Amino acid sequence: MERRIGVYVCNCGTNIAKVVDCDALEQFAAALPGVTVAKSYRYMCSNPGQEMIAADIKEHGLDRVVVSACSPRMHERTFRGALRNAGLNPYLLEMANIREQCSWVHHERLPATEKAKALTLAAVRRVAHHEPLDPMTAEMCPTTLILGGGIAGLTAALEIADSGYPVYLVEKAARLGGNLARVDLTAPHLDSARLLLDERLRRVAGHDLIEVLLGTRLERLEGFIGNFSATVTTGQGATAESRRLSVGSVIVCTGYREFDASRITHYGYGKLPNVVTSFELEKMLRRGRVEMKSGKTPRNVAIIHCVGSRSPEFHGYCSRVCCMTALKYAQEIKAALPGTAVSDLYIDMHAFGKGAEEFYRKGSEVKTLFLMYDKNDRPVIRAAEPGDGCDMLIEVNETLSGEVIEIPADLVVLMVGMEAREDAAEVARLVNISQDREGWFIESHPKLDPVATTTEGIFIAGTCAAPKDIPDTVAQARAAAARILGKIAKGRLEIDAVYAEVSDDRCSGCRVCNELCPYSAIEYDADRRRSHVISAVCKACGACVAACPSAAIQGRHATDTQIMAQIAGLMT
């Protein structure tokens, strides 16, 4: 039976059209065997573009669709939805990536267009062999496991519990609150961190649907979205108790740790008694007294930014909150000690967000001395001589004046950056998510899906994913909770029909695939001496298909016939 294939070329504005001749590609596709209709449109992923595809499916009786556009990761789900709305099985779609694999990596129009034609032909050849697939469904357990009891974990727990669903809030430490519990006031509005937390702590403690597990760690997580089984252990040694919790989703809110300032030797932290970190200053502010180690009031305070951040030696990223926090310290110190001179040594002042620029201006109004230095030429701190009239001297090559300046200091505050927690790798292993090179957890998509991960049912929120401030942390926690509530409301989950399958007749039980699967989606049945795939967990990456020495594993929607037809199209 001859196929009736529709080919749709997306211009992606000028992202594709500025390099690829989309009209020529449309004409090429229209002449291919089996192609009934071919069209080019400015934005195929837009509502008019999707409606065009749906209308053509009905009008021309199309039974297969090819979309030459961007990466399937971006819009495959979008175009599958268009097929579904037109009454066509969504898996009868194939996408040719002519943006990331063509227009974005080539500059010459003719070769780029020829490559786009080859990619489109390969997609047409492959889609002819696609078969209708039907997704499975599974029950959705309404209980959520939240790892971490900081502001992100507390917010997510309350959002879900207030909607009527149970939550297990697991905190490794002996108390809730996380790093925010160590802070006095928050920038730029100088709100009390204690009051922000106390309100949430009271609500969590009195909520019937939230079970708080302090001093508890996750030991094991098995299953798949909607049907996870988590093993947690409370306590240590002989008094430790383990429990198995049935949950449908997991939110990881494990936060961050502060950078160890002693790693930067020229700041003298740990050797010079009056060099302190930002969190040590917070302790003084919470006690209501800013003082030197000797108990004396400092006459000169210096605040140094980007300690451990924006450094090729340590962390190249910005920790985001340090600039505003440093401005807060300057204002708090001047308010408590009007006679104390405050110097602020910075690389760049990142005053982003509502009220931040005004807060920066107020720092100047309280007569803070701002000194700019280059990130490759950091200030050096040394102990002062007896006759210098101060405890330390800081030498800084000041960028704006172009001069080397020496400033006095009795107390130096190091604005330590955020870094991934020491147990981040273990948490990532337990919940089967990925980390970037800095140790932060990786989201499904940094812009379009910033709270999901590549493992269905596992979400991330707050500073375990990257440095961020309180508003962004709270927003992420609520977003993760909303994603979970949307799934719970459906009652049942739809599981993607694309996964690997093991042929029992061919499987030798070698278990190569068990060790190889990055998603832990393959189990070994010792009684049958055969492996089998947990379809709800499988992401159809194909690693097991390629590695199986017995050729016993086949990927649905990526069969040998389909792949070979695609290769033949490319080589034609």
What are the pLDDT digits (tens) for 420-440?
Answer: 999 999 999 999 999 999 999
In this structure, CATH architecture of domain 5-135: 3-Layer(aba) Sandwich (3.40)
H/E segment holding residue 68: strand 64-69
Tokens of 91: 């898996």
- Please give the CATH superfamily to which domain 259-418 belongs: FAD/NAD(P)-binding domain (3.50.50.60)
pTM of structure: 0.84
* pLDDT score for 494: 85
Domains of the chain, residue spans: 5-135, 144-255+421-493, 259-418, 500-555
- Please tell me if the domain spanning 144-255+421-493 has the same topology as the one spanning 259-418: yes
- pLDDT at position 364 is 87
As a CATH number, domain 500-555 is 3.30.70.20
3-state secondary structure of 171: strand
430-469 burial code (b ≥16 CB/10 A, e <16): bbbbebeeebbbbbbeeeeebbbbbbbbbbbbbbbbbbbb
pLDDT digits (tens, 9 = 90+) for 123-149: 999 999 999 999 888 899 999 999 999
Please, are residues 217 and 173 in contact by the beta-carbon 8 Å criterion? no
Average pLDDT over residues 272-286: 97
> What are phi and psi for residue 60, nearest 5 degrees?
-100, 0
Q: How far apart are CA 93 and CA 78, in angstroms?
A: 11
The residue written with tokens 């002989």 in the block is 238
**Residue pair 509/529 in contact by the 8 Å Cβ criterion:** yes
pLDDT given at position 335: 94
pLDDT at 115: 97
Task: Give yes or no for a contact between 275 and 414, defined as CB atoms under 8 angstroms apart.
Answer: yes
Q: Is the model more confident about 384 or about 494?
A: 384
- For the structural domain made of 144-255+421-493, what CATH number should be given? 3.50.50.60
Say what the pLDDT of residue 539 is.
87
Q: Determine the pLDDT at residue 1.
A: 67
pLDDT value for 454: 87
**pLDDT score, position 126:** 98
Across 468-477, average pLDDT? 97
Give the chain's mean pLDDT.
95
pLDDT band at 76 (very low <50, low <70, confident <90, very high): very high
Q: Cis link prior to 48 (omega < 30° from 0)?
A: no
